[in-house]
Structure 1
Amino acid sequence: MKAVQLSSHGDRDVIEYGEFPDPEIGRNEVLVDVKAAALNHLDVWTRRGLPGLDLRFPHVPGSDMAGVVEEVGEDVTRVQPGDRVAVFAALSGEAAAEITGDAADAGDAEFPRRDDLTLSPGFAIIGENTPGVHAEYAAVPASNLVPVPDHVDWEVAGSAGLVFGTAWRMLVHRAEVKPGEHVLVHGASGGVGHAAVQIADYAGCEVYATASSSEKLDYAVECGADHGINYEEADFAAEIDELTDGRGVDVVVDHIGDATYAGSLKSLRKGGRLVTCGATTGPNPDADLKRIFWKQLSVIGSTMATMGQAEEVLDLVWQGVFEPRVRATLPMSQMARAHEMIENREGFGKVVVIPDSEL
């Protein structure tokens, strides 16, 4: 088969697309004929080399995809050949323990209990810690597959899992947003950001979105934002102060880190919550503890969703309640260009890649 491969950590020139050994499935795994896949900022970090990330090269990246089941392992009963499926990339239980060495987390659970709201210490991610899905075929645990209805386009199915699962966990299960609350979403043009805008709007919140251009803000409004703030032209914290008559927002969704953290805390009302799932501009801002204790703020960490949470939100995606916006669809052989779009923050929404053999 052909697959995207990283020859080492580094810049985009380490990305290759070419022949790679066909994957072999284990007893609890499924071979999927990939129809569409998508990029996340995680793919950029994996390529560059996250601190502590120890990969075996060549490495196939990728955490989002959808396709048709080609073959199942002998112990698999959840799916069968011919099924349409999407992958959800968070591994736990035995699968993660094999990767992380966290034997204490190994058990007979399939990721782990599907309604469990606690991610285990042995948490790992397909495409980061294991071979990924940016290939013509992918071998994944059967427990990480979600059925895809016939009416759902491959581009939608292949790009929704990671970002909508992450945003759903952040807002619904961690920040516990309520109707009528005011929610500020940073980076509303990105994958998690545009998903968070839609989820906050669905929850009945007043939504404030930041982005770097008027065009991106127009898209954010289409997704459900009530107010748009161009952070290239204005101090977003000052804008929030004016738009809320000095009250501040109840929740800030911040996956940016250093560049937005101080302003995010300033934007919160007394007793407000900042929920974060990442730090693309740096992980170590000034903690500003005085502001946190004086205003009784909560800073809440969040990760990818559990499988049960992913199933909740993907059901809504399949119903058309939420829509992954696709900024571009490219052949997998143009993966370097796809990474460039993510790194340069070009466009709005997800970048989808299709195996060249499917085009």
Structure 2
Amino acid sequence: MEPKWMKAIVTVGQGGYEQLVYKDVALPPLEHDEVLVQVHAAGMNNTEINTRLGWYSSSITDSTNNTSDSASPSQQQKSDGGWNKSTPFPLIQGTDCCGTVVSAADNSHRHLVGKRVLLRPCQRGEGFDNVWLGSDFNGAFAQFTKVKAKHAFAIECEWSDAELATIPCAYGTAENMLHRANLVEGETVLIAGASGGVGSAAIQLAKRRGAKIIAIASRDKHPQLEKLAVDLLLDRNDDLISLLGENSVDLVVDNVAGKQFPTMLKVLKRGGRLVSSGAIAGPVVDLDMRDMYLKDITLIGTTAWDDPVFPNLIGYIERGEIQPLLAKTFPLEEITAAQQAFLEKKHVGNFVLIPSSQG
């Protein structure tokens, strides 16, 4: 028999860590086409921190770290703080979920019951409209969560639950960027922020496409990134133009932005592409339009995932074409310690939260 209550981290509003409350909440009731998933492991991303801070508001122009440092219980609430719209607080965050389906609302989805699944966090509708697990509706920072059955993907592999929970948001975001940018074999790709969840995922996903990889990360993280067969590792303080030369790369994957953004356009070849789905070093950048139009550069923004992205990832995992980069696990109730460690940026890969088991 399913319990009536579950433990969850409830984000009650914008602000500091005091907004993260570990408490009992009612088990979510299932509606048509939905399945209930017992969460075994929940990955952690910039997204949860940014949403709590209201960083997606157009009024924020600083980096995610600096915004976090200034967060306080008294900070002004931002009505557009969640993806430039209001966030439905109180909210159970958690974008990444590995778990087991324990019940289904409809007989047509009973075959999923008992299956280990990954949940697709980006749920796209018409055009580019999309909603996200843990940002627009309750997510995986709990013992149970629910989704439409079509977003629960059964998976068979030898990875642990925690290893699988590193995949959905980071690898889905990276796969979507490379898919949209049409990276092909033999091209050279420059990946900024390469030690983070999305950056390290992009390395693997670009490598399986046969690209040459140039990765930017702090030098202390280079030994770990060398294991991913990166062709050239650069420090984030290096002079890219002197080391690479102008017109040297086909594609830039840049979720960092900030002060280094103008240099990214300089190193792109004529007809090159820059793809982004984030701006952790600061969302407001300098752009010399001449670098863009005189070189026929394409700028590609990505949030809504294309349909093939998540099924592609399931296939890559089951065929052993990518590997998990699990940095550390924390009990769910220790989310504050996990987010503090996350923001220190000393890790490579992903942090994962583990809910306590029912009993």
User: Structure 2 length normalisation: TM-score?
Assistant: 0.86
Write the letter of the residue equivalent to 1:44: I
Q: Describe the superposition over 1:315-351 as per-residue Cα deviations: whole angstroms up to 9, x where unpaired.
A: 1023221112011111001111221122221210000
Deviation at 1:311, TM superposition (A): 0.7
Deviation at 1:247, TM superposition (A): 4.3
Instruction: Verify the 8 A CA contact 2:130 2:304 in the aligned structure 1.
Output: no
Deviation at 1:13, TM superposition (A): 2.5
- 2:336 alignment counterpart: 336
- SS of aligned partner of 1:192: helix
Unaligned runs of 5+ in 1: 94-104, 106-119
- SS of aligned partner of 1:208: strand
Q: Which moved more, 1:325-334 or 1:252-261?
A: 252-261
Deviation at 1:137, TM superposition (A): 0.5
Write the letter of the residue equivalent to 2:243: E
Moved over 6 A (4+): none
1:57 aligns with 2:89: yes
- 2:244 alignment counterpart: 240
CA distance in 1, matches of 2:51, 2:133: 11
RMSD: 1.8
In structure 2, do the counterparts of structure 1 residues 79 and 156 end up closer, same or farther at CA, with 3 Å as the change threshold? farther
Instruction: Verify the 8 A CA contact 1:144 1:307 in the aligned structure 2.
Output: no
- SS of aligned partner of 1:64: coil
Instruction: Verify the 8 A CA contact 2:41 2:165 in the aligned structure 1.
Output: yes
Q: Describe the superposition over 1:133-177 as per-residue Cα deviations: whole angstroms up to 9, x where unpaired.
A: 110000111111111215232112222111111111211x22111
After superposition, where does 1:294-333 map in structure 2 within 5 Å?
294-333=294-333
- 1:174 alignment counterpart: 180
Deviation at 1:28, TM superposition (A): 1.1
Deviation at 1:228, TM superposition (A): 0.6
CA distance in 1, matches of 2:330, 2:159: 19
After superposition, where does 1:86-101 map in structure 2 within 5 Å?
86-93=118-125
Q: Describe the superposition over 1:71-118 as per-residue Cα deviations: whole angstroms up to 9, x where unpaired.
A: 10126427432111110111233xxxxxxxxxxx4xxxxxxxxxxxxx
- 2:352 alignment counterpart: 352
In structure 2, do the counterparts of structure 1 residues 84 and 302 end up closer, same or farther at CA, with 3 Å as the change threshold? same
Q: Describe the superposition over 1:234-284 as per-residue Cα deviations: whole angstroms up to 9, x where unpaired.
A: 22333222xxxx541111100112233112111212221111111122222
Write the letter of the residue equivalent to 1:238: S
1:158 aligns with 2:158: no
Equivalenced residue count is 327
Write the letter of the residue equivalent to 2:357: S
1:147 aligns with 2:154: yes
In structure 2, do the counterparts of structure 1 residues 19 and 206 end up closer, same or farther at CA, with 3 Å as the change threshold? same
Instruction: Verify the 8 A CA contact 1:35 1:66 in the aligned structure 2.
Output: yes
- 2:52 alignment counterpart: 47
Instruction: Verify the 8 A CA contact 2:88 2:137 in the aligned structure 1.
Output: no
- SS of aligned partner of 1:77: helix
CA distance in 2, matches of 1:8, 1:25: 25
Give the share of equivalent positions with the same residue, in percent.
Answer: 29
In structure 2, do the counterparts of structure 1 residues 322 and 304 end up closer, same or farther at CA, with 3 Å as the change threshold? farther
Unaligned runs of 5+ in 2: 1-5, 58-79
CA distance in 2, matches of 1:358, 1:239: 54
Instruction: Verify the 8 A CA contact 1:35 1:358 in the aligned structure 2.
Output: no
Match of 1:17 among 19, 22, 25: 22
CA distance in 2, matches of 1:238, 1:75: 62
Deviation at 1:297, TM superposition (A): 1.4
CA distance in 2, matches of 1:123, 1:264: 29
- 1:264 alignment counterpart: 264
CA distance in 1, matches of 2:274, 2:97: 30
CA distance in 1, matches of 2:19, 2:108: 36
Instruction: Verify the 8 A CA contact 1:208 1:226 in the aligned structure 2.
Output: yes
Instruction: Verify the 8 A CA contact 1:210 1:236 in the aligned structure 2.
Output: no
